[in-house]
Structure formats: C-alpha cells, structure tokens
Structure 1
Amino acid sequence: MKYVDEFRDHDLAQRLAATIAAEVDPGRDYRLMEFCGGHTHAIFRYGVQQLMPPRLRFVHGPGCPVCVLPMARIDQAIALTERHGVTLCTYGDLMRVPGGDRRTLFQARAEGADVRMVYSTQDALRIAREQPGREVVFFAIGFETTTPPTAVALEQARTEGLANFSVFCNHVLTPPALAAILAEGARIDGILGPSHVSTLIGTAPYAFVPEQHRLPLVIAGFEPLDVMQSTLMLVRQINAGTARVENQYRRAVSETGNRKAQALMARVFRVRERFAWRGLGEIPESALELAPEFAAFDAERRFPVACAPTREARGCECPAILRGEKRPTECRLFGTGCTPAHPLGACMVSSEGACAAYWSYGRTRAQVATG
C-alpha cells in the first residue's frame, strides 16, 4: 500500500458494487457479520451498506472490548480507587462506561478518586516511577491486539523492581467469543474476520468456523474497498456452497501471525478458566490473567474487592446488539434515553460500538440499512 486513497477509490468501489449485485442470488438473503467495530464504522462512514443489493445485509457483532466488558468490572475498578486508594490509569473509552449503579470512572474522579486517563501503558509506568509512594494500577483492556503493550509494561516493571505498579487485567480473546456466538445459533451466512487482531494471531485460529459451523470467514482490512472485496469473496463462497478461511488482508496478515508477540504474551499471561462477557455470558478460556511469575503485579490479588451483581439499564438492548440479534435502531432507548452525551450502554459509549456508529454516521441511513 502506497496511499490510503488506493483503498477508497470511487470508480473501483462502483465496479465492485456492480459485481456483487450481479453475483448475489436474488432468491436468497446474505447476512454477513463483521466481528470488529472498526468494520462497522467503515461500513457506515463510507456508505458501504448503501452500495449493497437489498438482500445483502451486514450484521454487527461484539465490536470492541469496551462493549463486551461486564459492568461488574467497572464497579471493581471504582472500588480499587475508593477502598484501596490506588491511582487508576486507563484509556479514555473506559472513563464513560457506566457500572452497575450507573456510576462511571469520570464520576468517581469528580467525587475524589484518583483516576487518570492515559494514552499508553508507558504513561502508567511513568506515573508509577514519578510517584513511588502511590500504588498505581493500570486498567488493561483489549483483544489480542493491545495485549503485547501490557506484557511489555509488566516485564519492564519487573526488571525495574517497580513495586508500586500493578495491572487490573481485562484482556480477552477473539476466537472463543466468536465460537460462543456461533454456538448459540446466530443467523449469519458468513463472517468478516477482524483485521488488527489477525495481524497478531494469524488466520489459523479461525479454522473451527468452517470446520465446525460450515461458514466461510474472510479476514478483511478496514478500508471501504477492503470490506467490499471481502464481501464479494464471501458471496462467492456462499454461492458455491463452500466454507473456508480466506485472507483478503494479506498485506498485513499471515497464517501464523506475529510469533514474537505471541511468545511475549505466553511469557506474561495465561488463559483464565472462565470470564464473563457482556451480552455473551461466561465463556470458558476466553480471557487472560497474569502468569504466576507476575503475581506481584496482579491488582486483583493485591487489592481484592467484592462487588454486587449488576443488571443492564431497563430497556437497554446492548447485549442483543453484541450478539448480532438486534440492530441499534431496534432499541427503544437509542437516540432518546441513550445518546453519546448520556450513554446507558457500552455500545454507545465506545467509539467503536455499533450504536455509536449508527449515531455518528447518520441515523436516517441506518434505517436504509434495515431494508
């Protein structure tokens, strides 16, 4: 890739759209799930859905790690600051996610908690170095893509003997979540596989999709022409009755992924026995925790807290949206009680959430997409 414009070319997009329309069987429906919120935003930002034939529709999946983080983990993070007096560092998206009692980290900070927004794990390490008398906890979150930076920070902290630094780990794994969605009988015909995650884990971990569920999966890049080409690849597989993993994003993704990053993660983390996902429930072996060698830096062990069970806001359809069962416009709170200025669910809070995409790129266009 030399220029990003190569993947946003208007004429090529029109030709791709015409090819897809010509190859779609007018007698059947095509429901294609994009797992990643980056794809959802590309589809809306560039009007990809409007270029598709009426019988082809994109189904929005889990989207992003902020969307699938259970509210109880927000409650735990707030409790870390209020009961143990730690300095909590985290990314901006998490600051506005409501917990079980609708409180956010922003509100906790306004009430006196030491909560700081950072841009990287290195910012959290710097704060720990500059304030050796404070316990600094990094609220780590993300799919496989953001896990290596957390691992690097933990190895640095151990090397430096930074005893006042620890991690509240909420890193989750993509293939188990996809497996859980498919096991529940999601009504989809093909899957647009995530881009950034796949640069790290490769294409091999998705083999279970065609082998166990007879569904095609195409690893798709984030640009509009990436999404459209990947859609055409899925349409051709569906029409042919085949099911295999294909890699449209070959300029960045390989079969084996980033072996160096994988080795780093294996040194620092181990797979949790179970982890609760918002909207998907408890999924076995679907998240990471710190390995025993890094137990001294595990905030859950150092600062244990117990929180009450949580429930979604009344009427919030975020869990069903995460599973691809409903569209944001089918939630009666969308655009009324739940807006970016006053989000009730994580799908609206997160910049990559499906509700945020519907809101940001035109609620009227979202209605067209339902056709």
Structure 2
Amino acid sequence: MAVGKDILTTLSALVDRDITLMHICGTHEAAIARAGLRSVLPEGLRIVMGPGCPVCITPQGEIDAALDLVERGCTVATYGDLLRVPGSTGSLESSGGDVRVVQGVHKAVEIAKREPDREVVFISVGFETTAPTVAATILSRPPENFSILSCHRLVPPAMAWLLARGEAALEGFILPGHVCTVMGYEEYERFGVPQVVAGFEPEDILLGLLMAVRQVREGICRVENAYPRAVSREGNVKAKRLMYEVFEPFDVEWRGFPVIPASGLRLKQEFEGYDAQKKHDVAIRHVDKHSACICDKVLRGVARPSDCRLFGKACTPRTPVGPCMVSHEGACKIWHLYESRRASSPPLR
C-alpha cells in the first residue's frame, strides 16, 4: 500500500483544520471500516456517512405496505437485506406469509411465470443503480400476475436537502461510484461544493479524499473523477434512457428525512398495470418514530452508530431495532462487524 502511504503523507500536510466530508454509499462505509481508514486519517479530517444504504432509507410505511401485501395473500419477492427490517407489526421474515428471497427482479418474474395462479410482487428497492434493470424487465412485458412495489430513490435530491439543511456542516462529498457508473456525474455539477467520484479499494477512497481536500483548501468547487476506469461524465446513456422511459420522479419520504421533492421513482401511467400499490390498493403511510434508535441521525451524518445507546446492546444484527443494523450496507451493522472488534472505537473522522 505504498501509494496509500504517499497519499496519507500528503493529506497530513494539507489538513491543518477541521474538514468534514460525506460519502453517500454503504459500500464506501464498508470499505472504510474494513480497512480501518478512519484510524489513519489526519486528526481534523472527518468522514461522515450519509443516506447511502437503500434498505436503510426505506421508510417504515413502505415496509408496512409490503407486509400488507403479504396479508393479502401475495407472494412477496425481495432482496435478503429487507427481510428483517422492522415494520409496525413485525418484519417480512416474521410475517408467516409467502416471502421469498431473490437475487433480482428477473428471479421474481420467473416465479410469476412458474406459478401463474399467484400474485407475485417484487419489492423494488435501490438507487439509480438497480432501477434500469427493473425498467428493462417492465419493458419486456412480464406476466400479468407480476407487479412491483417501487421503493427506488434518487441520490442528488437528497444531497440538495442535506446541503440546504446544513446540519452536518459539510464541505464536500465523496460521490457513490456504483450510482455514477450508471448515471455519470454531470447532474452533480449543480452543487457548489467539492465533489469527487471514488472507487472502492482503500487507495481509491484515499485518492478521492485527497482530491476533495485539495478543492477545499484551494476554494474550488467542482466534480472530479477518481474512478475513470468505471465512471464517465455522461454515464450509461442507454441505462438512463430505459430508466426514464418506465419511471418518473415524484416527491417521497426517506427514513430519517421528510418528503424530498422529486427524489423517488414511480411507474409512469402506461405501466400502472405493474404497480402493486394500485393493483392491490395498498397505501403507503407516514409512520411516526417511537423507538430510541438513531438511524435517522446516522443517515444524515450527524451521529455515528456507537452514539446510539442501543448499539451493540438491545440492537445487534441478530436483534435489529433499526434498519441500519440489518443491511450489509447499513452503517450500524458495518460498525458492529468491524469497529466493535477494535480495542476502542476511533473518532468519527
């Protein structure tokens, strides 16, 4: 890791005051924690986590809608990460219904084809990374007994909300490499803060941090690409076209956030036959928070998992209270896996 050492040396020389950067990617958080990067960064450089886990930001009302579909006798197909996310009356795992773990939307369609007498609903979560695949599936006209509960979210509107709120005193972002592989980074150029697209190896992340810190120090605000082997400015044009052919943005709630304008994706009118909400008359309602879980603050970058009094006690991967302890991209589960193994938790840098 000679390159990484050189970057750390340069970073140490540049960081002479407190600088707070946010990443919006659960895979980045996992890579940072696994490599122990926070423990070797300069004292003043704080890397906070944002709403980068699609399972974590899925609000309780959408989990309750999925449970409602189970109660109505639907076969619910979902990614494994969603199984144990708590709803108002339990989780999909504990529902007792026909809930099946699938690797993707195509597997849910296979179930619908094999079992034409069953209504099969795919819980379609994810950012712009997964939405094009779902769009392509809808365009292929799957069987009529198939539908989706669209829980997709768009990253830039959440960033706009975070910047407008100013809660975490952010000076820049490490942009999500997976999302930018699909979407490119041109739509991020409207934000007047330093931003860098980064990959997922420790050296990739360190390079992204170095480029962002240099922008902060020089008073420059632009989008730079530290992941050119996978990301271009325009992204995957075909994938974006497919996504917006099937989906349209709409105002939607995120867990830990209010309703964010134009931050969700719903099926366009011509594809409403595949909309599980309308097909099965299922409502998604706002659910007030009642637990001591601080997932909302973790997702906004104003708290770290270990700040929660439930962390590692009442809330563990075996007994999750909040969604951030469930998903492999959830900050709390990542910290429980890596940070709790260290003699002492490093500061949130």
TM-score class, shorter-chain normalisation, is over 0.9
2:77 corresponds in structure 1 to: 89
Deviation at 1:218, TM superposition (A): 0.5
* 1:165 maps onto 2:137 in alignment: no
Which amino acid counterpart does residue 329 of structure 1 have in structure 2? Answer: S
Contact 1:216–1:238 (8 Å) recurs in 2:
yes
Contact 2:47–2:348 (8 Å) recurs in 1:
no
Contact 1:36–1:64 (8 Å) recurs in 2:
yes
* Identity level (%): 45
2:191 aligns to what SS in structure 1?
A: helix
2:132 corresponds in structure 1 to: 148
1:255 corresponds in structure 2 to: 233
Deviation at 1:197, TM superposition (A): 0.3
2:317 corresponds in structure 1 to: 340
2:99 corresponds in structure 1 to: 115
Deviation at 1:366, TM superposition (A): 6.7
1:3 corresponds in structure 2 to: none
CA distance in 1, matches of 2:18, 2:265: 37
- The alpha-carbon distance between structure 1 residues 366 and 176, as it changes in their structure 2 partners (threshold 3 A), is farther
* 1:241 maps onto 2:232 in alignment: no
* Structure 2 alignment gaps of length 5 or more: none
* 1:29 maps onto 2:18 in alignment: yes
1:19 corresponds in structure 2 to: 10
Contact 1:125–1:165 (8 Å) recurs in 2:
yes
CA deviation profile, 1:84-111 (whole Å, cap 9, x unmatched): 211110100000100123x100001xx2
Deviation at 1:47, TM superposition (A): 1.2
CA distance in 2, matches of 1:153, 1:352: 25
2:211 aligns to what SS in structure 1?
A: helix
Deviation at 1:120, TM superposition (A): 1.3
Deviation at 1:222, TM superposition (A): 1.0
2:86 aligns to what SS in structure 1?
A: coil
CA distance in 1, matches of 2:337, 2:280: 38
Deviation at 1:297, TM superposition (A): 1.0
2:53 corresponds in structure 1 to: 64
CA distance in 2, matches of 1:365, 1:205: 42
* 1:285 maps onto 2:291 in alignment: no
Q: Higher helix share goes to which structure? A: 1
* 1:200 maps onto 2:182 in alignment: yes
CA distance in 2, matches of 1:328, 1:347: 9
Q: Which runs of 4+ in 1 moved over 4 A?
A: none
2:91 corresponds in structure 1 to: 104
Which amino acid counterpart does residue 91 of structure 1 have in structure 2? Answer: Y
2:206 corresponds in structure 1 to: 228
2:224 aligns to what SS in structure 1?
A: strand
CA distance in 2, matches of 1:281, 1:309: 10
2:43 corresponds in structure 1 to: 54
2:24 aligns to what SS in structure 1?
A: strand
Q: TM-score, normalised by structure 1?
A: 0.91
Deviation at 1:370, TM superposition (A): 3.5
- The alpha-carbon distance between structure 1 residues 277 and 307, as it changes in their structure 2 partners (threshold 3 A), is closer
CA deviation profile, 1:298-357 (whole Å, cap 9, x unmatched): 111101124664233521111011000111111111111111111111111111111111
CA distance in 1, matches of 2:343, 2:204: 21
Q: TM-score, normalised by structure 2?
A: 0.96
1:64 aligns to what SS in structure 2?
A: coil
Which amino acid counterpart does residue 19 of structure 1 have in structure 2? Answer: T
1:191 corresponds in structure 2 to: 173
User: How many equivalent pairs are there?
Assistant: 347
Contact 2:38–2:348 (8 Å) recurs in 1:
no
Contact 1:61–1:321 (8 Å) recurs in 2:
yes
- The alpha-carbon distance between structure 1 residues 337 and 93, as it changes in their structure 2 partners (threshold 3 A), is same
1:43 aligns to what SS in structure 2?
A: helix
2:42 aligns to what SS in structure 1?
A: coil
* Structure 1 alignment gaps of length 5 or more: 1-9
Deviation at 1:199, TM superposition (A): 0.9
